[in-house]
Structures are given as structure tokens and as C-alpha cells.
Amino acid sequence: MQNNIKLLDCTLRDGGYLNDWEFGKSNIVNIFERLVSAGIDIIETGFIDERRPFDENRTIFPDTESANMIYAKLDKGNSMIVGMIDFGTCSIDNIQPSEECCLDGIRVIFKKQKMHEAIDFCRAVKDKGYKVFAQAVSITSYNDDELSELTELVNDLEPYAFSLVDTYGLLHKGQLRHYFDFAVSHLKKTIGIGYHAHNNFQLAYANCIELLDDPPADRMLVVDGTLYGMGKSAGNTPIELLVMHMNTYHGTAYHNSQILEAIEVTMLDIKRKVDWGYSFKFFLAASHDCHPNYVNYLMDTGKLSVKSISEILDSLKGEKKLLYDKDYIRELYFEYQKQQCRDSESVKELMSDLSGSNVLIMGPGNNIYEQRDRVAGYLKDNDCITISINFIPDGYDIDYVFMSNAKRYVQLCSALNEQKEKSKLIATSNITRTLGEFDYTLNYSELLDEDALMPDNPLIMLLKLLKDAGVAGIALAGFDGYRETSVSNYVNPNMEYSYSSQEADNINNDTVKGIRKLKLDTPPVYVTESIYEKL
């Protein structure tokens, strides 16, 4: 039975998503030679992508001749050597005849909407003498009718193998069996079937075992893995586990010691520099059957609780779920945040309380503590109402806490409950209270600046409210301005975002622009030092 099963290692290709394929020449050679020595049946050497120049330190190269320059002089033993093309990134002119190349085969990945053109490209590659693998990415995006259409095309092509690619790690056992058994029943027996897993649900190894222990009797099975599970998204099936399983339960003689040597010599060092594997972010994406970049976008806002993120992900529709669209998720984010409430009574009461007052707004910048003497002096010399934004500063008496950030609210929930006898809570309508009601709830959408880089900048939102309330004067403390992430921006490390120097400058300029756009009766007084004051 084991003769019909082949293990394929794609470390040098899939792992490259994490380090831009820059493994270094010595590591490339070491990984390749260890995999050959281990007896791995098929070794994938990297991407063939005409958009990238040749670099002997990287496993992404513009043409097949470049693959020769890296691998042609290496002993490939009994292993089959393949490369991969993401359909549309390499023209057939960059693929030389197979007899002139070290590669035995080429795997072609393609999305559902490109299946016809991709299969035609596979045919051109096959005509050049290569063993062709047709790789259907995001296999979970296909319904049965679309699978029937695809398998007809594949049968006509008759490639070396057809692979089910679970790009985002969504498959559970029952779903896997459906897709796999469908392929088995619809494809010619001469066509091998492959499976490429990702570990979003910690099921990559379990799913591979499901197929290895019950392979089709009449055709070849190809199962993918990588050294130490290195790969895109939540990582791949660790090849060392597949080797161990095959040796233990299927009588094979792969040399796992060579695999472990490769991990110890190269992979452990790589993992110290870049991380991969099961994570909360990739679990969240997989649990909503969506592209992980949607989760990245929502988490990077830093303003949403996990509950809110999940509710937004639930609103993703159709094909958009697995085809990332930044404008689409941005629109859903703001639509979600614009939850309406009846705030007329809250606004009326709050306006009355604030009207004609001097207000000191406190932000979470380091200067709220480092320049405490300035703040204390201002409070001593001025009769003012104090409002903090999305945090509670230690050592200050706060009259109001303004909350517009659902994530910060969850973090501060206990402290806010303890503070409720001292401070009133003003919350925007995108925040859900754990218990009871907020003192004041305001319509989030009415405080936005839709034209701004950061439409929901909490300082601008509060300033807009205070202008409408007709306050007499406004002072700011703890609004230091943004700097690159290497420098602390906040009194609490849990509040930090990740910014480049340019991104920080853009946000600072956007904030100052927003303040000026409000045309306040009198400009804010900066009690503590601020980048905003200098712009």
C-alpha cells in the first residue's frame, strides 16, 4: 500500500511566505540534501515567478533555468523534484523543456474563477515534458457543481496529480472526506490525488492521517508537509510527524533522523526570527470561513472586542469571504460601528452639564505622568471639568470617562465599575455594556469625521461633542502624539499599536487637521508637551 502513497515536502516554497523565501544558500542546500537523504518522495524547491529576479539565497526565481542554477548540481537521489507556479505569475516562455531542467514536475496553483485558463496553462507545461500537478486552492470555495466542472477539465488534461488545497485550514474530517471522495469518484484512476493542509484548527496532521490510513486502492495519494510545520497562515502539517506515522503504521523506511537534523540545524534558528503555527488570529479566521487578512484588519484597528470582531466577520458574504477586499471590510467595520441609539436625552443632559465649562481632556500618553506637575498646576489654577479618553489615569480625580473603543472598554470594565461612584461614563453606541446602562450613550456615527485618515479618532470625536456643547475652553494633557513603535506611545503597554515612522507622522498630521477643521472658538491649550502643538 505504501507504494501508492508519496510524501511531498514544500518547506522551501510554502515556508518562504514567512521569510520572503530568503533561506540563504547554505540552508537551501542543507534542507534539500537532508530531504533527499530522508527519502522524501517529492521535494518542492520554490516558486517560479517572473516578477522576481534571481537570487541564489532565495527559493523564488523567475524561470526554470534559475532553478538549474540552484539545484542542478545537487544529487536528488530517488526524489522527484518539482517547482510551483501561481497561475498568472509566470509565462510559458519562462519554462524550458523538461530535458533541459533539473525539475521533474511543476505544480500550478489557481483560484476557482481562473480554472479554465489555468488548466490550459497546465497543458502547455505538460507539453514541455513535465509531470504536472493541478492544485485547486481554496478547495472549500467550490460547490459540487463547480467541482464537477473542474474534474472534467482535469480529466481532459490528465495530469500527474490533482491536489485539494485547504488554503485557510477550514476542513474538518467530514468535509475532507466529501471533497476527497468526490475527487476519487470523478477523476480517472491514472490521476493521483494530493492534499495540502493548513493548521488553523490544529487538524492538519489529523486530516492527513485520515487519508494516509484509508488511501484509495487504485491510485496514488500525495500528502504535503513541511519541516517543523513551517508555512503560510497557521503553518502546514509537520513532515516529521508524517514520516513517523508512515514508518510506524505503514512499514516505510523514511530516515526521520535526517528530518530532525534539518530541523535542528536550520528550522529552529529560522523560527527564532519568524513565527508560524496555530494562533488565535488564524483560528478566528477559520472559524468564520474567511480570509485571515480580514481578522488582521479588524484587530489592527485596536478598537474592537473579540465579540465585535466575530459579529463583523459573520456579516461577510459569498465569494468575498475568501477573496480579501480591504475596502469591503473597511465599509463593514464602519457600518458596524455606526450602531444607532436614541441619544437625544443623553445629549440634552450632557450638553447642559458641560455648557460654559472649562474642560481638561486627559489622554493616555506618557506625559500625563511624566509631566504631572504641569497638570497639577493647571488644575490648581483653573476650575475645570476633567474627562479622560478610553483610560483611567492613576492619581487624578476624573469627572467623566469617554469611551469610544470597545476593546479598551473590555480591558477597563472592572476598573470602570469601581470608578462609577467617582466618574460618569460617556460611551458611544458601538460599545455594549456588560451590566446595566451607561450614564450617557451617544450615536457613534454622528461624531465621525468620514474624510479623515482615522475617521474615529477619539480625541476628534470628543472635541466635536464639546464644541456642540458650547464649552468655554478646552485643555489637553497626555496627548503626546504618535511616534514609531520602537518608542513607547502609551502609559500602558497593552494600548500600543504598531506604527512605522511614516504612519505615525500621517496620524499626527491627520489629528491636527481634524482639530483645525472643527474651528473651535478658542484653540486647545496644551498642558503637557505634544507633537500636535508643533505642527
- In terms of pLDDT, which residue wins out, 311 or 240? 240
In a domain, 278, yes or no: no
pLDDT at 491: 54
Q: Residue 283: inside a domain, yes or no?
A: no
Per the structure, the complete domain to which residue 64 belongs is given by 2-273
Same-domain pairing of 190 and 324: no
Please report which confidence band the pLDDT of residue 485 belongs to, taking 50, 70 and 90 as the band edges: low
What DSSP state is assigned to residue 491? S
Alpha helix segments (H runs only) across 315-405:
326-337, 344-354, 367-370, 372-381
Query: pLDDT tens, 329-361?
Result: 999 988 887 766 666 677 788 888 899 999 999
Angle made by CA atoms 445, 451, 455, in degrees to the nearest 5: 50
C-beta atoms surrounding 42 within 10 Å: 25
Confidence of residue 487 (pLDDT cuts 50, 70, 90): low
pLDDT at 435 (0 to 100)? 67
332 with 381, same domain? no
Q: What is the pLDDT of residues 96-136, one digit of tens each?
A: 999 999 999 999 999 999 999 999 999 999 999 999 999 99
Average pLDDT over residues 468-495: 77
Q: Per-residue pLDDT tens for 369-414?
A: 999 999 999 999 999 999 999 999 999 999 999 999 888 888 888 8
**Residues 332 and 398 occupy one common structural domain:** no
Confidence of residue 13 (pLDDT cuts 50, 70, 90): very high
Q: Which of 337, 355, 375 represents a domain boundary (last residue)?
A: 337
- Identify whether 16 is part of a domain: yes
Residue 403 domain-assigned? Answer: yes
37-63 per-position pLDDT tens digit: 999 999 999 999 999 999 999 999 999
CB contact at 8 A, 91 and 78:
no
Query: Is the separation of the CB atoms in 176 and 210 below 8 Å?
Result: yes
* Grid cell digits, residue 319: 465569494
Q: Are residues 171 and 300 in the same domain?
A: no
If pLDDT is split at 50, 70 and 90, which confidence band does 1 have? very low
Over the range 427-453, which residues count as b (16 or more CB within 10 Å of their CB) and which as e? bbbbbeeeeeebbbbbbbbbbbbeebe
Q: Is residue 166 part of a domain?
A: yes
**Residue-wise pLDDT tens digits, 180-198:** 999 999 999 999 999 999 9
Output the domain CATH number for residue 221.
Answer: 3.20.20.70
My answer on whether 107 and 236 are in the same domain is: yes
User: Percent of the chain at pLDDT above 90?
Assistant: 76
Average pLDDT over residues 506-513: 92
Quote the pLDDT of residue 437. Answer: 77
| Arithmetic mean of pLDDT over the chain | 92
Same domain, 348 and 299: no
Question: Which CA distances in Å does 337 have to 330, 332, 464?
Answer: 11, 9, 17
Region 10-35: what's the mean pLDDT?
Answer: 97
Domain stop point among 219, 244, 273: 273
Dihedral of the CA atoms 114, 21, 41, 107 (nearest 10)? Answer: 20
Shared domain check, 231 and 320? no
81, containing H or E segment: strand 80-86
Give pLDDT, residue 169: 93
Question: What is the total count of domains within the chain?
Answer: 3
The answer, yes or no, to whether residue 32 has pLDDT greater than 70, is: yes
Is 438 a residue whose pLDDT tops 90? no
Q: Is there a contact between 494 and 381 (Cβ–Cβ < 8 Å)?
A: no
My answer on whether 244 and 329 are in the same domain is no
Contact (Cβ atoms closer than 8 angstroms) between residue 45 and residue 273: no
Residue 494 pLDDT more than 70? no
Per-residue pLDDT of 219-275, as tens digits, reads 999 999 999 999 988 999 999 999 999 999 999 999 999 999 999 999 999 999 999
**pTM assigned to the model:** 0.72
Task: Quote the pLDDT of residue 3.
Answer: 60
Residue 282 lies in a domain: no
Is residue 421 located within the same domain as residue 391?
yes
Answer whether residue 463 is part of any domain. Answer: yes
Same domain (yes/no): 267, 293:
no
Which of helix, strand or coil describes residue 56? Answer: coil
Considering 273, 304, 325, which residue would you say is the last residue of a domain?
Answer: 273
Same domain, yes or no: 435 and 506: yes
Residue 17, classed as helix, strand or coil, is helix
Q: Which one has a higher pLDDT value, 300 or 163?
A: 163
Is residue 132 located within the same domain as residue 164? yes
- 3-state secondary structure string across 207-242: HHHHHHCCCCCCCCEEEEEEHHHCCCCCCCCEHHHH
Q: Is residue 280 part of a domain?
A: no
